[in-house]
Copies of this chain bind each other. A is one copy, B any other.
């Protein structure tokens, strides 16, 4: 049997956004995204769970030090997005619609190069308690 273990670290950030695809007309955007397209933004308390899969190090008993993982998440993700307007204040969503799906993929791509290649990474992002996503599925 595989000795692989998954470890999870939960962090959070608060951000404003609106859903809007600049390639579509305003009418299409309003029809597709409804309230989420309102022009002056709304916001969320995003709960971010980072899942790292690997074998535990026999010396430490850790797959990865979760405090270290927490620092990486804070440095790469929380400082970038916390208390920001995703559409206006970030490079990542200047031309990309900040749906929960797209935010999860962006976070994956930001964290992946910061972790050793022996790890498998998954991102779980709660936009609200009732709407959440996981990448890769």
Contacts and interface: CB of A to CB of B under 8 A. Distances in A.
A83 B136 contact: no
29 contacts: A5-B133, A5-B134, A5-B136, A5-B137, A7-B134, A8-B133, A9-B131, A11-B130, A15-B43, A17-B43, A19-B61, A24-B59, A32-B65, A34-B67, A38-B83, A38-B85, A40-B84, A40-B89, A44-B44, A44-B45, A56-B99, A56-B102, A60-B99, A61-B96, A61-B98, A61-B101, A61-B102, A63-B101, A70-B130
Interface string A25-59: 00000001111101011111100000001001001
A10 interface: yes
B40 A136 contact: no
A88 B132 contact: no
Given A8-B131, A130-B11, A2 B137 contact: yes
A43 B40 contact: no
